[in-house]
Amino acid sequence: MKRPSLRSILLGLIPFAGACFSVALWDRVYPMVLGLPFNFFWLISWLLLTPLCLWGAYRVDAPRTERPPREGSGTR
Amino acid sequence: MSSSVVALTIISGIVAVGSCAGFYARSHHKMDLEQWTVGGRGFGVVLVWLLMAGEQYTTFTFLGASGWAYSKGGPVLYILAYQPLMCVVAFYILPLISEIGRKHRLQTQPDFFQVRYGSRYLSAFVALVGVVSLLPYSQLQLTGLGLIVEVASFGGIHRTPAMIIAFTIVAAFVFVSGVRGVAWVSIIKDVLLLGAAVFVGIAVPYMYFGGIGPMFAALARAKPSHLTMPGATADLGHGWYISSVLLTSAAFYMWPQFFAASFTARNGNILRRNAIVMPLYSITMPLMFIVGFTAVLVLPGMSDSNLALLTIVRKTFPAWFLGVVGGAGALTAMVPAAIQLLTGATMFAKNLCRPILAPGMTDQQVGWLARIMVLVLTAGAMLLAIHSSATLVSLLLLGYDGVAQLFPGVVLGLFSRRVTTSGVFAGLATGISITAALILTGRDPYHGLNAGFIALCFNFAVTGLVSLVTPVHAGELDATLFAVSTSENTEGASLT
């Protein structure tokens, strides 16, 4: 059983830093961005940035867990 | 036709189409316990995604998020933060859980504790925590469903008969089709909910203020403090935000139904890819908030904030559209409720009843007991919902914070060989007691921190300390879980 590597876990900590621990820095209304209060805009952008970080983590670990493709063995 | 008839007809139509999809799912598959609970472990990335996304957006998110935006303001943002972050947690732990599940043919969360810690009492305790936590959760779905029908009928139909009809349908399709039925109903529900959320979230502020930007500008002028934390509350500040976001993102996949959903995946990589795209699905949440924020200015002074979304839709749009939103909302209550009932019933039969009370039961008997338990739990949730009281929200919190206490046992169990059965038992008991003590005495938040988070910290500490002084027993898993394995590729071979 392969555990995630340290590099991949560090990538996963980025969204926690950005959307959780740093709340005091971005919890404000102004400047409004795209018509949204700043805190609102900030968290919405993490909906897009989190997949990027995880995709990075996937790439870091992918070579380690790659299995032979199981094409043609569909269940239906 | 009066507006209430139009709205109710459309809601019933949507519910009927959804239920047919649920029953139809059965037709291609033989329903043994394995197929019923985990879909034969053959779900690909699309079905797993639908199932997980479908379970995740319950009527509490649908009605509750807009309601919180309306009544509490800024603190509602914690929902927007935990949704991507729980996917991060899922990314790292679900593939491991799923692979163990495939190797040992696990069906439920207590099964995992059974093979990891080798104790049927720990596993039964976990099952008990799960079943007790799930009951108020399913009951909340019922209450949400009752609210929808009540608003859509303009008060013409009382919520009790509506709940009884809808939940008879839910119990029936869970009974017949199991998890596959639920996954297929999810598709209909997701399409409808997405459509309704996008349309309502954009159209409502547009019609009253000329756009989302002008709406926020007006709200920031009228109530400058509403949009940041602690918003309209006294004690939901940044400490509460951080502790709640951490607790919720840790707790989410500890709900037995979400945990077990990872067993439906064909392999671990499907779950990793699923976790990558899942945060994008949360893009509908801000739209729910926007509706709630608009209602602050348009419908001030509502007593029941959970009605904010439905009331503003009823006030703004024609009756048929209220029907579409109500139908989406009804399926949003039914899909998670179905999964919750299925999970609770399976755990009760397989992990609580058989190992402790009746060791002689065959698998087939367990399967039948699980199905009967679906009906019993439905009835239980129904009774709770009908005799509901004001403390229900705190019961849900108790459930949420309760399942969070399973986190140390799962995560330490996956990543450390040193954690022991007694350690997990002691930690879990400590965590549950502290949670119950704080929440039932109304001390949540406690000193500005989420009560479940405090309990979780103690839980981790006790688990760690007791593990250090008790002997290791890693159950059947020891060899596979902690061996330095180079033969990952043989894993698919055990799947026939």
Cβ partners under 8 Å of residue B5, min gap 6? none
**Model confidence band, residue B229 (pLDDT cutoffs 50, 70, 90):** confident
Closest CA to A58 of B491, B275, B44, B20: B275
Asked if A1's CB is within 8 angstroms of B480's CB, the reply is yes
CA distances from B23 to B20, B57, B185, B374, B379 (A): 5, 22, 9, 16, 21
Asked if A50's CB is within 8 angstroms of B96's CB, the reply is no
Longest Cα separation, chain B: 72
CB B136 within 8 A of CB B324: no
Q: B494 at the A interface (CB within 8 A)? A: no
Query: What CATH number should be reported for the domain holding residue B36?
Result: 1.20.1730.10
pLDDT exceeds cutoff 60 at B296 = yes
Asked if residue B432 belongs to a domain, the reply is: no
**Model confidence band, residue B425 (pLDDT cutoffs 50, 70, 90):** very high
Q: A56 at the B interface (CB within 8 A)? A: no
Asked if A67's CB is within 8 angstroms of B85's CB, the reply is no
- A21: nearest CA partner in chain B: B242
DSSP-assigned states of every residue in B209-236: HSSHHHHHHHHHHH-TTTTSTTTT-SS-
Average pLDDT of the residues in B277-296: 88
A28 interaction partners in chain B (CB closer than 8 Å): 228
Q: A20 at the B interface (CB within 8 A)? A: yes
Query: Using one digit for the tens of pLDDT, what is the confidence trace for B185-217?
Result: 777 787 888 888 888 999 999 999 998 999 999
Select the more confidently predicted residue: B298 or B143.
B298
Average pLDDT of the residues in A18-31: 90
Q: What total of structural domains would you count in chain B?
A: 1
In this predicted structure, what is the pLDDT of residue B393? 61
CA distance A12 to chain B (A): 6
Asked if B229's CB is within 8 angstroms of A29's CB, the reply is no
Q: B487 at the A interface (CB within 8 A)? A: no
Strand partners, B446: B449
Asked if A70's CB is within 8 angstroms of B88's CB, the reply is no
Asked if residue B450 belongs to a domain, the reply is: no
CA distance B476 to chain A (A): 14
CA–CA dist B125, B131 (Å, integer) = 10
ipTM, two decimals, is 0.84
Asked if B87's CB is within 8 angstroms of A50's CB, the reply is yes
Asked if residue B126 belongs to a domain, the reply is: yes
Q: A60 at the B interface (CB within 8 A)? A: no
Average pLDDT of the residues in A17-33: 90
pLDDT exceeds cutoff 80 at B329 = yes
| Amino acid (one-letter) located at B128 | L
Strand (E) positions, B329-482? none
Q: Which of A4, A34, A65 sits opposite B488 (nearest CB)?
A: A65
B491 interaction partners in chain A (CB closer than 8 Å): 67
Asked if A19's CB is within 8 angstroms of B88's CB, the reply is no
B283 interaction partners in chain A (CB closer than 8 Å): 44, 47
Query: Using one digit for the tens of pLDDT, what is the confidence trace for B237-246?
Result: 899 999 999 9
Asked if residue B428 belongs to a domain, the reply is: no
Query: Using one digit for the tens of pLDDT, what is the confidence trace for B64-122?
Result: 888 888 988 888 899 899 999 999 999 999 999 988 888 888 888 999 999 888 888 99
Q: A6 at the B interface (CB within 8 A)? A: no
**Model confidence band, residue B456 (pLDDT cutoffs 50, 70, 90):** very high
Cβ partners under 8 Å of residue B179, min gap 6? B36, B37, B38, B39, B51, B264, B339, B342
Could you tell me the residue range of the domain that residue B11 belongs to? 3-389
pLDDT exceeds cutoff 60 at B371 = yes
B30 interaction partners in chain A (CB closer than 8 Å): none
CB B174 within 8 A of CB B342: yes
A36 interaction partners in chain B (CB closer than 8 Å): 212-213, 216
Asked if residue B27 belongs to a domain, the reply is: yes
Asked if residue B479 belongs to a domain, the reply is: no
Q: A11 at the B interface (CB within 8 A)? A: no
